[in-house]
Amino acid sequence: MNLVEPHIASLFGLHLSPSLALFLTVAFVVFLFRRDYREQPNVTGALWLPFLWMLLMGSRSVAQWLATLGLPTVSGSLEEGNPLDAAVYSAFIAAGIYVLSQRQINFSEVLRSNAWLMIFLIYCFVAILWSDYPFVAFKRWIKILGHPIMVLILFTEPNPEEALARMVKRSAYVLVPFSILLIKYYPAIGCKYDMWTGRSAANGVVQNKNELGCVCLVLGLFFVWYFLKTWRAEKSKARRDELRLIGGFLFMIGWLLSKAHSATPSLSWLVAVVVMLLVGRQWVNKKLIGMYAILAVIALAVAELTFGIFGRIVDLTGHEETIIGRAGLWRELLALHTNPIFGVGFESFWLGDRLKLLAQGRPWQPNEAHNGYLETYLNLGLIGLLMLIGLLVATFRKICTDLLQNFEWGQFRLGFLVAIILYNWTEVSFRGLSLLWFVFYIIAMDYPRVEDESVVEVLESSRAEEMELTYFEERL
């Protein structure tokens, strides 16, 4: 059976009824999951938690889905949130903590191995104190704890890299086909008007085109890395089938990205892929990655100051209107009176009077700064921004070590770090329940498995001693 047959037909002119298209999509997804289970992956049932968490990050909340489908749900507000969603996220976090307690996680080692991340989270917690809405900020801080909890579940699986690949692939099995279905056959759900241009834009299973672009960025970059990983494997029927699967999903993700018309994810994906390919070349000295990064930053700064390279790229992509709108918003945000040192409090800027003030004179309601670094500055001040930069640098240093010791994992982390850094120039992912923020925790965190390895070594040593003792007893 061709893995992408249901969608190839609809993409190239075969018009199906919405009900038939829905049936074929569900059948396609069921086939993919059955195929996945038949491979008997080395993962536990606990992987369902981070998988479902990623699905929520990459689509809509439970309350939003109920409202989209016309089902009764509990209403909420911007400040208080939705009680149904709060209950769902709390259940995920509680279940995750239970799984980690059963696995006897050494939290002191987790803290020691992820010092910068822990310091950043602690500062975010302290920043709740000077928020105008401390209880709202506290609830939002609790929600983001789901990210490191789900990542620790991944990293404590029997094979963390396989668990990661299974989680992302299974998420793609749902997010990609159903996005195509909604865009082509249920446009009332899968398409919206772009607030910047007034044109119809695809959003698929998420709320807007930028979020769809973010989903395509994450899944597309993963499948490129997975292709490189699979290509290096020994030739076999399983390898051939996996390469076909990857090719089919890259094709579908490319189609979705073209429908989203979102420039930032496309450019971020392209640059990240180039970096991943370059770092895999033999002539690239892995020990000098840090120096290469510094030279690249200097070259980009000189190119921007001399030629205005950012503006030229914007002109080429045809997104002048959106960037002009963002630039105007940035000037207004910087002109507001906020505490430059500490900010207004953790994820508290887009609340209350400021939200109403920024809506004046606009046909649309801003709810983010469209720049992750500016957003961090507004909420957490210069201290928070410097901590975020320190966290990015600390993550890069971990990647440099991985490129020498575990190249494939280092290549994965480097590609996504580059994409995240670029994406946040005109979008925001350093906050809340963002899919890209969840992915950042994956590449930023380490879980030391030294104790597990030492246990294995002790067991192997004891087995060897038993074999030697048995041998001598038989000789005697």
Residue 14 pLDDT: 56
Residue ranges of alpha helices (H) inside 12-156 are 18-38, 48-57, 62-68, 83-102, 107-113, 115-126, 134-144, 146-155
Mean pLDDT of 23-37: 95
If one counts every other C-beta atom within 10 angstroms of the C-beta of residue 153, the result is: 26
Domain ranges of the chain: 1-104+145-261, 262-448
How sure is the predictor about 299, in pLDDT bands with cuts at 50, 70 and 90?
Answer: confident
pLDDT of residue 292 exceeding 90, the answer is no
Helix (H) or strand (E) holding 165: helix 160-185
Query: Mean pLDDT lowest for which of 72-81, 240-249, 264-273?
Result: 72-81
Percent pLDDT > 70 in the chain is 85
Mean pLDDT of 91-119: 93
Mean pLDDT of 74-90: 83
Mean pLDDT of 106-135: 93
Query: Mean pLDDT lowest for which of 86-100, 325-339, 381-395?
Result: 325-339
Residue 342 pLDDT: 96
Mean pLDDT of 460-473: 44
Closest CA to 96 of 56, 154, 175: 154
Interatomic CA distance for residues 327 and 247, integer angstroms: 38
Residue 1 pLDDT: 39
Q: Are 160 and 154 in contact (CB under 8 A)?
A: yes
How sure is the predictor about 107, in pLDDT bands with cuts at 50, 70 and 90?
Answer: confident
How sure is the predictor about 453, in pLDDT bands with cuts at 50, 70 and 90?
Answer: very low
Say how many CA atoms lie within 13 Å of 189 toward its Cβ.
21
Pairing label, strands 200-202, 191-193:
antiparallel
Residue 60 pLDDT: 93
Residue 200 pLDDT: 72
Interatomic CA distance for residues 352 and 127, integer angstroms: 17
If one counts every other C-beta atom within 10 angstroms of the C-beta of residue 312, the result is: 12
Interatomic CA distance for residues 245 and 464, integer angstroms: 43
pLDDT of residue 458 exceeding 70, the answer is no
Q: Which residue has the higher pLDDT, 474 or 92?
A: 92
Query: Mean pLDDT lowest for which of 112-116, 256-260, 469-473?
Result: 469-473
As beta bridge partners, residue 200 has 193
Q: What's the whole-number average pLDDT of the chain?
A: 85
How sure is the predictor about 457, in pLDDT bands with cuts at 50, 70 and 90?
Answer: very low
Residue 312 pLDDT: 58
Interatomic CA distance for residues 217 and 287, integer angstroms: 28
As beta bridge partners, residue 201 has 192
Buried/exposed code over 105-144 (b: 16+ C-beta within 10 A; e: otherwise): beeeebeebbebbbebbebbeebbebbebeebbebbbebb
Q: Are 215 and 175 in contact (CB under 8 A)?
A: yes
Percent pLDDT > 90 in the chain is 60
Mean pLDDT of 365-388: 92
